Chains A and B, each alone.
Chain A
Amino acid sequence: MKKRKKYIIMLLTLFFAINLSAQEGLRIADVFRQYEKKHGTTMVQLSSEVLGSYNMTLYKSLSFQPSSTGKLGIDWVTECIELDKKKAKKIKETLLDGELHSGYYQLSQVQKGINRFILFKVNEKKKATLIYIEGSLDSAELVSMLFNKK
């Protein structure tokens, strides 16, 4: 019986190890899934091979135009971000007319030494940009990179 229990635990561990990337389990993964193939959307994924010098292991961005109404519109997108925000240990947000304009979130680690960040911004034309970053870089490094971009 103990052997069987061990066997089940081993199978489950293997399954989750294979299937769980850190982004899975976050609601923004749904946003990526819903929008990545839509017309007018640009979705980028960069893996560790091209990100090494930035201390990142994964970079995903989504530039899209969510509709102002509808089931998967901007309200749903911000709702997904709000839900992931609950897992954040650092939050920086700006609101415009009570609506989320930009957000910077550092999530709790799921793997030791790997930080996770969500960046979100909506511009004047209501075009949204959502970024998910994983890596050993810390919050200060990321903010410095963001600050120097403009």
Chain B
Amino acid sequence: MTKKKDIEILLEKYFEGTTSGQEEQILRTYFTGSEVSEDLAVYRPIFSYLDAEIKNCSTAKPHPRYISLKRFTWPAVAAIFLLMLGFTAYYRFNNTTGDGSYVIINGEKFSDVRLAQQQAQKAFEDVSFSKDEITDNLIPEDMKEGLE
């Protein structure tokens, strides 16, 4: 009888929202047991449901842990930057456009500065022009005949 009285007090507290976790556990244990007083049996479904839900929650698989991608942003930026730098360095190395003086003849590279200067001089002469060439380009053929 004392137990029933205690349960009634706990119920009252429960519906007022002032029960502790432990007191709610007592209520759930009572209402899921076999000795539920007939006049309190009306509350059995509520506490049975709650008890079942709590058990489900405790046995449910934990939520997967999501890892924020934000934390990888800066390392990713740095990695991309280094990759770009690496690719460019590799590309430049293979295309021999780096610093220094050299000459490539028929695909073979020579670092002899004198040879490079000699070949540079030759190329420069190839694009240079003489007075005759200027005259040739500026004066039309028919006019040249007249001049001669």
Contact = CB atoms under 8 A, between A and B. Distances in A.
Interface string B48-82: 00000000000000000000000000000100010
Interface string A127-142: 1010100000000000
Contacts of A38: 107
Interface string A111-127: 00000000111010001
B99 interface: yes
A42 interface: yes
Nearest to A61: B123
Interface in B92-111: 95-97, 99-107
Interface stretch (A14-22, A71-79, A82-90): A14-22
Contact of B127 (A23, A40, A49, A131): A131
A149 B84 contact: no
Interface residues on B, range: 20 to 34
B124 A61 contact: yes
Contacts, number: 107
B130 interface: yes
Interface residues of A, number: 43
Contact of A50 (B96, B97, B113, B119): B113
A150 interface: yes
A123 B126 contact: yes
A32 B97 contact: yes
Nearest to B99: A47
B116 A46 contact: yes
19 contacts: A11-B77, A11-B81, A36-B95, A37-B107, A42-B106, A46-B101, A61-B119, A61-B120, A62-B123, A94-B137, A119-B127, A120-B127, A131-B123, A145-B124, A146-B129, A147-B128, A148-B128, A149-B128, A150-B129
